[in-house]
Amino acid sequence: MKHNSYFEGRVQSLALSERDGPATVGAIEPGDYSFSTSSEERMTIVAGSMRVRLPGEGWREYAAGETFVVPPKASFDIEARTDVAYVCRYR
Amino acid sequence: MKHNSYFEGRVQSLALSERDGPATVGAIEPGDYSFSTSSEERMTIVAGSMRVRLPGEGWREYAAGETFVVPPKASFDIEARTDVAYVCRYR
């Protein structure tokens, strides 16, 4: 199983396969982060909450159970004030 | 952030804090596993599905969105036929 670590270990993820394609499950420590996508990413929060700024949009809060979609080849920003856990699906 | 690896890396988890206490988010590769608890564990499947045998019970399938509770100081068994992602809350 592939384990990835970003931002000096403050964001970490574990890779898995789903029937529909690859996914990761991960955790985010409090902080401000910018990410870039290659494929489309469908992120579902499973613990905690965070503010997210998608390309061309304003900041919006996402809590456990909510999903946002980031287009391919795009950047997005995150403000986490608590620990967050997520599942990310790549399609 | 603490990263733990079990069963030669086939089960891995990342630790986080929630308002109510500690939690982990993790992934499980296909296989058969036995786990032991110290505190109560409340496991929610967030991707995939697996069969679970709780103490004194028969095997039962749990799919994404479902939760089972394992008492403290107990053992439980898992049969994963696909990759599984979970959130585990310790109380």
Q: What's the full length of chain A, in residues?
A: 91
Which member of B16, B47, B82 has the closest CB to residue A85? B16
B70/B72 Cα distance (integer angstroms): 7
Q: What integer pLDDT is reported at residue A91 of this predicted model?
A: 84
pLDDT digits (tens, 9 = 90+) for B15-67: 999 999 999 999 999 999 999 999 999 999 999 999 999 999 999 999 999 99
Here the tokens at position B91 are 């109380």
> Which superfamily does CATH assign the domain made up of A3-90 to?
Jelly Rolls (2.60.120.10)
Q: How many CB atoms lie within 10 A of CB B6?
A: 13
pLDDT in tens, A39-91: 999 999 999 999 999 999 999 999 999 999 999 999 999 999 999 999 999 98
User: Which residue out of B83, B84, B88, B89 would a mutagenesis test of the A interface target, given it has the greatest number of A Cβ atoms within 10 Å?
Assistant: B83
pLDDT 10s digits, B41-53? 999 999 999 999 9
Residue of B24, B33, B42, B46 to mutate, testing the A interface (most A Cβ within 10 Å of its Cβ): B46
Residue-wise DSSP of chain A: --EEEEGGGTEEEEEEEETTEEEEEEEE-SEEEEEE-SS-EEEEEEESEEEEE-TTS-EEEEETT-EEEE-TT-EEEEEESS-EEEEEEE-
Cα–Cα distance measured from residue A51 to residue A5, given in angstroms and rounded to the nearest whole number:
21
Beta strand A21-28 with A31-36: parallel, antiparallel or unpaired? unpaired
Q: Which of residues 50-69 of B touch A (CB under 8 A)?
A: none
Q: Is residue B46 packed enough to be buried (19+ CB in 10 Å), middle (13-18) or exposed (0-12)?
A: buried
**Considering the entire predicted model, what is its pTM?**
0.95
